Amino acid sequence: MNMPKIEPRLPSGFLELLPQDQIIFNMMLETIRKTYERFGFAPIETPAIEFTEVLLTKSGGETEKQVYRLDKSGDDLSLHFDLTVPLARYVAEHYAELTFPFRRYQMQKVWRGERKQRGRFREFYQCDIDVIGTTNVLVDAEIPSVIYEVFRNLGFENFTIRINNRKILNGLMEYLEISSVSREVLRAIDKLDKQGMERVTEEIEALGISADKIKKILDFVQIKGSDKEIISQLRSLGIDSLLFENGIEELNKVSESIAMLGVPRKCYGIDLAIARGLDYYTGTVYETVLNDYPEVGSVCSGGRFDNLAEYYTDKKLPGVGISIGLTRLFYKLKEAGLIKSERATLSKVLIAQVDDKFMREGLAVATQLRKNEINTEIYFDSEKISKQFKYADRLKIPFVIIIGELEMKEKKVSLKIMSTGKQEMVSVDEAIKIIQAVK
Amino acid sequence: MNMPKIEPRLPSGFLELLPQDQIIFNMMLETIRKTYERFGFAPIETPAIEFTEVLLTKSGGETEKQVYRLDKSGDDLSLHFDLTVPLARYVAEHYAELTFPFRRYQMQKVWRGERKQRGRFREFYQCDIDVIGTTNVLVDAEIPSVIYEVFRNLGFENFTIRINNRKILNGLMEYLEISSVSREVLRAIDKLDKQGMERVTEEIEALGISADKIKKILDFVQIKGSDKEIISQLRSLGIDSLLFENGIEELNKVSESIAMLGVPRKCYGIDLAIARGLDYYTGTVYETVLNDYPEVGSVCSGGRFDNLAEYYTDKKLPGVGISIGLTRLFYKLKEAGLIKSERATLSKVLIAQVDDKFMREGLAVATQLRKNEINTEIYFDSEKISKQFKYADRLKIPFVIIIGELEMKEKKVSLKIMSTGKQEMVSVDEAIKIIQAVK
């Protein structure tokens, strides 16, 4: 048919991968999943589509502008824009059927109609864990140990989990009598890394805060040292606020317990400038940076909240959790040349076809390899053997098995190792051993 | 806060599972994935959102009514309603970067605004494989061998893969000079199982086809016997149509090769009534039924197509593939009482807490278990031990480890086996052996 064609293309802001990259992306997803399960998080999944009213509990704001609404007569529905709001709805809806503390992981795509910008995605994976129904700050300490294991298992060595406690910052602002603009101040502090001292100072000045108080805030968020030193400095500041003191005690306990949970000191530390200004956290907060790639920003963030599902239920549900934005992390790693895509398939063996009359034997060998858990594909088309080798080479299939007249007579197969080009005639059992020895 | 609450609820037509069911659903997904990989299919994933114009190449019809369109100023976007159209777009878009024959699997949610009906879902998983870029009917024979392995690995014994070839039916209609209404006739035949002979006869009559021809069609689709018998009956009908004869040859080769690929005869067979009337297939077609649950209908369907991406490219891309609708399959199995949900978590061990002062030891044991690939969670809250046992019992965690004064002194742990209630004091190494011995 010679119809006019529709251009095959995607809207911008959507990441789509070739198989060689998809294989690596899926391995990363699987690594995160296995680590979450290792720490006793159970899987749930929620529908991508929910009632708009349920998702947008607070109307107005950035979120409402970004949400993808569906255009259907009848129910007002939208795509979820994170996994926390659906979790809140889930826990409230299924409260009686769940056991608390409820430890769940959830790894799904979410959608946001972000404005177009390089490296910003409108569809991306979030990999979340949360523990719901406990106020125990030991759980706040367990979360970094999960983050540590995840990033180690993903192959990272040099990263830092930064921790802070919102009570300390809020206590300070209470003490300075500027609580009424605390959200705005937190948001400004959050930009310290990116925008520098001068612009942040201007932003806080614009809120009508005196130079004296601004100095106090900025001196405060720049307190550096070991965790012990920071805690002792904080204690010596003489800030008379119960909230502030309570925050220090929590932060101290979290910092000490993280070490007890096996995370090396070099991989975590208190950073008083971590504010997570846009979020609803009420206690411990986390950010994670890859020290060799600070420009990537935080690759895993989260914190503690007093009340997860207040919009849906009177049940008070405190908890703590984190989220890894995998799509963005993958994109940034790829951009930095850290994603080494090789195989374009997961097949370890290609059964080549020399002649139709040996097909039966080839199929039997394929079945035998598969029974031995070896991913095996068959080249069905009658093509020149050189073309079949080229196919294996392009997909980076490590082994090709050839069965011809001679092999049939000897009851053997020829096994070609694609990386070296070496080819030898062996029994099927020997071939299986050689193949299984290669990861 | 005592605000008015929003009712936590989902729109109808969306399946959401508790962790105990989600665990089983995920195992099924993983089984399908591993089997697809075993046969050399490579993973891809496409965005849920595409240009409406790209998805709805043919305007009008059922699909257009069911598609979820997004309501955003700017681009006209929709949610994909299957994985075949996105595959066509993907292959056309990335043609130069792919290697053919392109063997891909894709397991994602799709969305359709179906009318409300029990057991109909508006969001559901499709698990697809396709081989693109080959006309070789041996590949048509390989597909049932993948279906066979998938359903065996999912634990089914008694199922039948029904095969047919559209060329035979189309050839018959050519011969009867009713090709102009062949789509409508195929659609009617497709309903034979559900609606019975009488209603289907009426439906074909309404197309203005003579009683004589209707009898020929209905006699034809009811030809029964072994595959060999059916083929020989078809050959003896004396229908003078090249298309018909070509269809018989293909069907015969596919039927013979499926056996060669290791699928037992009892698990597949020719069924001339399989029409897949609503689809775009041009050769082999498949349906799969669970013989003990015929009311479930086909759990895996597909077929061969001449040209996958004709709307996007002049490149001719023949191929063959199938799709498993996992959400519906899971729902039906659950309804039939075949889903045995037990564990509400994947944790194998709960580290109980007797006293805060033994926490350090408990954390160290947890780390050691996890290093041995044992999913382990810690009970952090200081609760009565009976409450902690109850927690383990409700989640069906098989082992609880307790560390108290005595255990500390003996450098051992107490291991409680929840299924028997038996508790014994053992070394951590012994505990690991006992735990690992239980699947």
Q: What is the 3-state secondary structure (H, E, C) of chain A?
A: CCCCCCCCCCCCCCCCCCHHHHHHHHHHHHHHHHHHHHCCCEECCCCCEEEHHHHCCCCCHHHHHHCCEECCCCCCEEECCCCHHHHHHHHHHCHHHCCCCEEEEEEEEEECCCCCCCCCCCEEEEEEEEEECCCCHHHHHHHHHHHHHHHHHCCCCCEEEEEEEHHHHHHHHHHCCCHHHHHHHHHHHHCHHHHHHHHHHHHHHCCCCCHHHHHHHHHHHCCCCCHHHHHHHHHHCCCCCHHHHHHHHHHHHHHHHHHHCCCCHHHEEECCCCCCCCCCCCCEEEEEEECCCHHHCCCEEEEEECCCCCCCCCCCCCEEEEEEEHHHHHHHHHHCCCCCCCCCCCCCEEECCCCHHHHHHHHHHHHHHHHCCCCEEECCCCCCHHHHHHHHHHHCCCEEEECCHHHHHHCCEEEEECCCCCEEEECHHHHHHHHHHCC
Inter-chain contact A314–B5, Cβ cutoff 8 Å?
yes
pLDDT tens across the length of chain A (439 residues): 467 899 999 999 999 999 999 999 999 999 999 999 999 999 999 999 999 999 998 756 777 889 999 987 789 999 999 999 999 999 999 999 999 999 999 999 999 998 778 778 999 999 999 999 999 999 999 999 999 999 999 999 999 999 999 999 999 999 999 989 988 888 888 888 888 889 999 999 999 999 999 998 988 888 999 999 999 999 999 899 999 999 999 999 999 999 989 899 999 999 998 988 766 899 999 999 999 998 888 999 999 999 999 999 999 999 999 999 999 999 999 999 999 888 999 999 999 999 888 999 999 999 999 999 999 999 999 899 999 999 999 999 999 999 999 999 999 999 999 999 999 999 999 999 999 999 8
Distance CA B67, CA B111 (A): 7
Q: What is the pLDDT of residue B395?
A: 97
Residues of chain B with pLDDT under 50: 1
Interface test with A, best of B380, B382, B383 (most A CBs within 10 A): B380
Does A109 reach chain B within 8 Å, measured CB to CB?
A: yes
Nearest residue, CB atoms, B10 vs list A16, A50, A71: A50
Domains of chain B: 19-335 (3.30.930.10), 349-437 (3.40.50.800)
Read off the tokens for A299: 């690759």
CA distance B203 to A58: 54
The C-alpha atoms of residue A117 and residue B68 are separated, in whole angstroms, by 26
- The number of residues in chain A equals 439
Interchain proximity B7–A312, CB inside 8 Å = yes
What span, in angstroms and rounded, lies between the C-alpha atoms of A30 and B30?
A: 11
Instruction: For residues A90 and B5, give the distance between their C-alpha atoms in angstroms, rounded to a whole number.
Output: 15
Is the Cβ of B142 closer than 8 Å to some Cβ of chain A?
yes
* ipTM exceeding cut-off 0.90 for this assembly: yes
Task: Note the pLDDT of residue A387.
Answer: 96
Q: Which residues of A touch B262 (CB under 8 A)?
A: 363-364, 367
pLDDT (0 to 100) of residue B59: 59
Q: Which of residues 300-329 of B touch A (CB under 8 A)?
A: 307, 309-314
Partners of residue B280 in chain A, C-beta under 8 Å: none
Residue B187 has, within 13 A of its CA and on its CB side, a CA count of 11
Decide if A105 contacts A36 (C-beta within 8 A): yes
Q: Is B383 on the interface with A (CB under 8 A)?
A: no
Residue B149 CA to residue A270 CA, distance in Å, equals: 52
B228–A contact, CB cutoff 8 A: no
B395: contact with A, CB 8 A cutoff? yes
Are B98 and A380 an interchain contact pair (Cβ–Cβ within 8 Å)?
no
The Cα–Cα gap between A144 and A337 comes to 27
How many other CB atoms are there within 10 angstroms of residue A52's CB atom? 17
Q: Do A68 and B57 touch (CB under 8 A)?
A: no
